[in-house]
């Protein structure tokens, strides 16, 4: 079967190759969707209602959203195609998504501590690696021994729970975010600054 056939053949029990191809495609889709979200706030004319969804400045927190929300959308799409043919789909996706911001944080602060500053190429690379590793975690769990019903429910609830956790974390900076939107302290100002934050 060709690569295209392995990717788009819809069966009740998708093959391992088909599932792998969807995970690899997910890396590409999440990466470019996240890259687009980096600029959407600026393209929208700094429209406030979408500030919770897209990056509004260059802080580490804002960059978590670039992988998280596209990852959730992709997980829902992928479930319709291959999800029912895996053992631990939702717990796999939940853990994969939660690993992405952790990896971004570890790589970013590790290399900026060593080098003393941040570099765009390394920021992009860390973003790509975080997505790739998150998708790999999901893929491995898809073929692990089937977890108990309790863990399956945990996975099913993992995505909305992790999304809620992410938003609650963001509320710590809610007042600062609102101030940034009102004063224009977003991309046009942050890009002119130097410091240890992803670009």
> What is the residue range of 65's domain?
16-190
**Does 133 fall in a domain?**
yes
Report the domain count for the chain: 1
**Does 197 fall in a domain?**
no
DSSP string, 26-58: HHHHHHHHHHHHHHHHHHTTS-GGGTTTS--SS
How many other CB atoms are there within 10 angstroms of residue 33's CB atom? 16
**Does 132 fall in a domain?**
yes
pLDDT tens, position by position, 151-169: 666 666 666 566 656 655 5
**Does 161 fall in a domain?**
yes
**Does 126 fall in a domain?**
yes
**Does 20 fall in a domain?**
yes
CA atoms within 13 A on the CB side of 154: 9
pLDDT tens, position by position, 49-70: 887 788 877 777 778 889 988 9
Query: Whole-model pTM?
Result: 0.73
**Does 176 fall in a domain?**
yes
**Does 82 fall in a domain?**
yes
CA atoms within 13 A on the CB side of 142: 27
Unique residue bearing structure tokens 């995970």: 23
């Amino acid at each position: 079967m060709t690569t295209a056939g392995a990717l788009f053949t819809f069966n009740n029990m998708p093959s391992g190759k088909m599932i792998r191809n969807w995970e690899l495609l997910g890396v590409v889709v999440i990466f470019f969707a996240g890259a687009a979200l980096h600029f959407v706030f600026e393209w929208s004319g700094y429209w406030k209602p979408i500030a919770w969804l897209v990056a509004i400045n260059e802080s580490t927190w804002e960059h978590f959203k670039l992988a998280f929300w596209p990852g959730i959308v992709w997980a829902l799409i992928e479930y319709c195609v291959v999800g029912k043919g895996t053992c631990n789909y939702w717990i796999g996706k939940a853990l994969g998504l939660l690993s992405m911001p952790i990896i971004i944080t570890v790589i970013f602060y590790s290399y900026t501590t060593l080098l003393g500053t941040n570099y765009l190429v390394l920021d992009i690379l860390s973003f790509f690696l975080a997505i790739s590793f998150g998708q790999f975690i999901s893929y491995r769990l898809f073929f692990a021994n089937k977890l108990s019903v309790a863990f399956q429910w945990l996975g099913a609830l993992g995505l909305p729970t992790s999304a809620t956790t992410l938003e609650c974390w963001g509320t710590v900076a809610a007042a600062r975010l609102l101030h940034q939107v009102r004063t224009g302290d977003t991309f046009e100002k942050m890009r002119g600054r130097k410091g240890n934050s992803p670009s």
